[in-house]
Amino acid sequence: MAKRILVIDDEVDFMAIMKLTLENNGFEVITAYDGQEGFSKAREERPDLIILDVLMPKIMGDELLNLFEREPETENTPVILLTNLPLMYLTGKMHGGPIIEKDSKGHILLRKDCSEEQLLAAIEESLQK
């Protein structure tokens, strides 16, 4: 059975590319275009993984991550946070690669301009939790 991934991002073009990429790699994709919609869909759909934009209207990605961690339906769901910001602004660390690190809860911070291979590697790593 295909793993279900919820992608939450307010950029319509990016979302279309992400959905196509994930579906072409065998994933079932659920989409949400802002944090409120994403929070509702995560609780209803219970995806295997959430891919979440950091900068969004209504609820920012980091706030949404905190909500997911407090909800019984989503507290154990791994999350990949995507951003166009330089990663050092979010982590305070200098790092050469697009994947910074995986925290103890399985969350990964990834640049939106990563390659398809890097995205799929991050997804695979997250789903091994």
Structure tokens at 79: 């999350």
DSSP 11: -
Estimate to the nearest angstrom the gap between the alpha carbon of 114 and the chain centroid.
Answer: 13
The CA distance from 112 to 109, in Å, is: 10
Residue pLDDT tens, the chain, 129 long: 899 999 999 999 999 999 999 999 999 999 999 999 999 999 999 999 999 998 888 888 889 999 999 999 999 999 999 887 655 555 444 455 555 566 667 688 888 888 999 999 999 999 986
- The beta-strand segments (E) located in 22-124 are 28-32, 49-53, 79-83, 99-102, 108-111
Give the pLDDT score at 44: 96
The enclosing domain of 53 has a CATH number of: 3.40.50.2300
Structural domain harbouring 96: 4-127
User: pTM above 0.85?
Assistant: yes
Give the pLDDT score at 83: 83
Total number of domains constituting the chain: 1
